[in-house]
Chain A
């Protein structure tokens, strides 16, 4: 019983993390059909930016509660800037090329940005544990849960609800749905698809950086965090169905719970489980759980 509860809580926290990382990736894929490897860089930039902001903020002895807010705002700013530069500067040049070629373009940018991180923040690692410590713990039965983790889960749930609401009820969200459904028809009806692309990419980049900033207190912000995150996010998005927000949520929950179960019951298969689930889902549902199969074009 205790183990089951632990698996559930750990799984939820990990799922929240995965969702934060995957939501931007799936949004960009849904609208632009770009499998964005650079998303790992957005995450890393967000984490570094957040950790740097935490250093600046907490050394001033400002009120602790607002620290995480400052971190998130800094990271989001970085994400918006980076997304805008990348979309306008690079991706604009390769629209219309093969999907796989565009993946390679984002991979090239990812490689470049890995070194840019070293240029800006150096090769050392950063900690941003202050918000985690400030949030404190809470006892639930015999388990000790961190308030920060609970906050993370609540935030991820709120983000999922927010994105869902925005896609369904705001003007821009409805425009997005139209573009996702059929780009050419949308353009024919006078929707400025180029603008939609730019805005979507910037939002996706911002979400990636946001994920990084939210996770910064829980990890050691060091080189190579983007490399790990991007494959995880791929797995989540592939399970849920690329381009589907509900899919990202369900994929995150499946992977989160599966990994937590593996960690508690059979630690040897921890990594295996994540990609095992991914392969299994792709074998039975090639396009993921939440997408309709596309008709083949002759």
Chain B
């Protein structure tokens, strides 16, 4: 079972990696953004398995993005392997510090406190003239180990970078889900006091989840900043967090792959809705979200599961 999903993941990765040869540029760029955002969603999936929903994940996204942008602007560092790594680490550090507080909260209160933290960052950025206030500022074109691509090559290089980071994260998070700490997520959701009685510190487990999600959020933000070429305070606004939570629900917490598929589906739906019916894309998104919650409570991933179950029951 495990080998089959790893194999499927590997094939999907190879197909995705060859995409620049047959897919048009706009689609490659759409996939870059979708997979960068999928990292943030993956972080939310980790928390959601433990029953936690953060309405402030944009905080880490924004920290990652601004770290990359500021490294280029103030320190002149454009090397992606340095900037993206530092973006993820900076967000992870923020998550680690805030985690001492956040790990004690559950349910709505967790959602509200994380919302408050992300809105604080938004408030600070909006009022900071040096960082471009509400307009933000643009990101200097990145270099890849000294290689400085332009236009189309830049697009493709970034795409491959995003894919590589996504694949690594997917493997690591998959391993985490199979570890004891990861497997305890569902018991925590069901009844955390019983988990405590097993002799495990729930707060510590959740703290670890927060840091992992924070690092992933930082990576996502860093890559998104490089892809869009611009950062602004809206990256920390609650609607950004809402979008990520939206994709998490759409994808479901069933598997690692769901985060990537969900994010891609979301980005495609949004782009087409925006292109075909520009005035109604929120209406379409809202309806999709509503229908998903009502009819597919476990997300898109559960379709596969249902089909498989049906096939198994049909077999003699």
**Residues in chain A within 8 A of chain B (CB atoms):** 35, 90, 93-94, 97-101, 103-105, 107-116, 118-119, 123, 227, 231, 234-235, 238, 242, 267-276, 278-279, 282-283, 286-287, 296, 298
B116/A270 in contact, CB under 8 A: no
- CB of B282 within 8 A of CB of A242, answer no
Cα distance A231–B53 in the bound complex, in angstroms = 16
CA distance A70 to B170 in the complex (A): 58
CB distance from B291 to the nearest CB of A (A): 9
Verify B119–A270 contact, CB threshold 8 A.
no
In the assembled complex, B105 has its CB within 8 A of some CB on chain A: yes
Give the CA-CA distance A270 to B123 in the complex, in Å.
8
A100 touches B115 (CB 8 A): no
CA distance A9 to B50 in the complex (A): 46
Shortest beta-carbon distance from B29 to chain A in Å: 24
Q: How many Å from the CB of B311 to the closest CB on chain A?
A: 29
Task: Please tell me which stretch of B83-91, B106-114, B153-161, B209-217 contacts chain A, meaning at least 4 of its Cβ atoms lie within 8 angstroms of it.
Answer: B106-114
Q: Is the CB of B107 within 8 A of A100?
A: yes
Cβ-defined contact, A103 with B112, below 8 A: no
Q: Dominant SS at the B interface? A: helix
B127 touches A271 (CB 8 A): yes
Interface residues of B in 245-301 (CB under 8 A from A): 245-246, 249, 279-283, 285-287, 289-290, 293-294, 297
The answer to whether B116 touches A275, judged by C-beta atoms less than 8 angstroms apart, is yes
Residue of A nearest to B112 (CB): A238
Alpha-carbon distance A283/B109, docked complex (angstroms): 10
Contact residues of B with A, CB < 8 Å?
51, 53, 101, 104-105, 107-109, 111-113, 115-117, 119-120, 122-124, 126-128, 191, 193-194, 238-239, 242, 245-246, 249, 279-283, 285-287, 289-290, 293-294, 297
Q: Are A238 and B116 in contact (CB under 8 A)?
A: yes
A100 touching B108, Cβ below 8 Å: yes
Known: A114-B282, A276-B120, A296-B193. A93 touches B294 (CB 8 A): yes
Across the interface, which residues of B come within 8 angstroms of A90, CB to CB?
A: 290
Chain B residues near A99 (CB-CB < 8 A): 107-108
Q: Decide if B293 touches A101 in the complex (CB within 8 Å).
A: yes
Give the residue of A100, A231, A278 whose beta carbon is less than 8 angstroms from that of B111: A100
Q: Which of B112, B238, B290 contacts A105 (CB under 8 A)?
A: B290
A275, B112: Cβ atoms under 8 Å? Answer: no
Q: Which chain A residues border B117 with CB–CB below 8 Å?
A: 275, 279
Q: Which residue of B lies closest to A269 (CB)?
A: B127
Residues of chain B within 8 A (CB-CB) of A98 are 51
Bound form: Cα–Cα A235–B101 in Å: 18
Measured between beta carbons, the chain A residues less than 8 angstroms from B193 are: 296, 298
Contact B116 A108, beta carbon cutoff 8 Å: no
Please tell me if the beta carbons of A108 and B287 are within 8 angstroms of each other in the complex: yes
Assembly CA distance A174 to B120 (angstroms): 39
Task: Tell me whether A94 and B119 are in contact (CB under 8 A).
Answer: no
Tell whether A104 pairs with B249 under 8 Å between CB atoms, given A94-B293, A238-B116: yes
**Which of A94, A110, A115, A282 touches B109 (beta carbons < 8 Å)?**
A282
CB neighbours (8 Å) of A103 from chain B are 53, 108, 111
Contact, CB under 8 Å: B115 / A234: yes
For the complex, what is the distance from the CA of A272 to the CA of B108, rounded to whole Å?
A: 22
Q: Flag if B108 contacts A268 (CB, 8 Å).
A: no
Given contacts A104-B245, A111-B283, A271-B127, contact A279 B116 (CB under 8 A): yes
Of A110, A235, A269, A296, the residue contacting B116 (CB under 8 A) is A235
> Could you tell me if A286 and B289 are in contact, using CB atoms closer than 8 angstroms?
no
Shortest CB distance B192–A (Å): 9
Contacts A231-B238, A279-B113; A111 near B120 (Cβ below 8 A): no
